[in-house]
Amino acid sequence: MSYTRRETGRGIGGAAASAPGPSIAPSAGTHLMPGASTSRITLKPGYSQMDWMRRSKRENLRGDDGDRDGESWKTRVIDDEELGRHATRDDCWIALRGRVYNLTGYVDYHPGGEKILEQTYGKDATALFDKYHKYVNGEYIMAATQVGIRPGYVPDSDSE
Ligand code: HEM
């Protein structure tokens, strides 16, 4: 498999920060207008994307198994077998565009909910990620949780 660089840069959620129309008070974690078609769920208070970004700056979200040795997460190659060993709600890793992330801490912050993520635990989630929201900057949101890379992945020298 080859991994191509993609342009990102639409901010945290990737979507527009405000919608046209009358001013409304948004509920936690959503910017959508009432009546808009969506599979977003209502997140618990304190679980917005901003809350996540704040938390990911403070805590080690790679987990013990992903943070064994300083900066090993940049180069540690994780094969299918190891990825597949992290496939439960309490210990879930996913691969996205050649990098492997510990998703465990993010699940409660995911605007699309927990249920839909389950099928991707311990697997490569790139196709489903792109199906639902190619525009979301997953690499940025998940940066603090990276535990390794996939076989064949060559990190960009300017993005590490
Ligand atoms: C790295 C992992 C992921 C991150 C950081 C992430 C992030 C996000 C964000 C920021 C949104 C809100 C999008 C918006 O504001 O329009 C969202 C919504 C959503 N996500 Fe994810 N996501 C991830 C993985 C996935 C995966 C693997 C799936 C599918 C299996 C998925 C399915 C959805 C769905 C269905 C929504 C709701 C879309 C809507 O109807 O508005 N996500 N996600």
106 within domain boundaries: yes
- The CA 37 to ligand 1 mean position distance, Å, reads 14
Close Cβ partners of 152 (under 8 Å, ≥ 6 residues apart): 1, 2, 3, 98
Place of tokens 């959620």: 13
35 within domain boundaries: no
Range of the domain at 100: 49-149
Helix locations, 22-124, DSSP H: 49-58, 80-84
Q: What is the CATH number of the domain that holds 137?
A: 3.10.120.10
- Per-residue pLDDT reduced to its tens digit, 18-64: 344 433 333 333 444 555 677 888 999 999 999 999 999 998 899 87
User: Residue 26: what pLDDT?
Assistant: 38
Question: Cα(160)–Cα(140) distance, rounded to whole angstroms?
Answer: 11
User: Residue 60: what pLDDT?
Assistant: 85
The response to whether residue 111 sits with its C-beta less than 6 Å from ligand 1 reads: yes
1 within domain boundaries: no
User: pLDDT tens string for the chain (160 positions)?
Assistant: 556 555 444 445 444 443 444 333 333 334 445 556 778 889 999 999 999 999 999 988 998 777 766 788 999 999 999 999 999 999 999 999 999 999 999 999 999 999 999 999 999 999 999 999 999 999 999 999 999 999 999 877 655 5
Q: Whose alpha carbon is nearest atom 20 of ligand 1?
A: 112
The response to whether residue 147 sits with its C-beta less than 6 Å from ligand 1 reads: no
**How many Cα atoms sit within 13 Å of 10 on the Cβ side?**
14
39 within domain boundaries: no
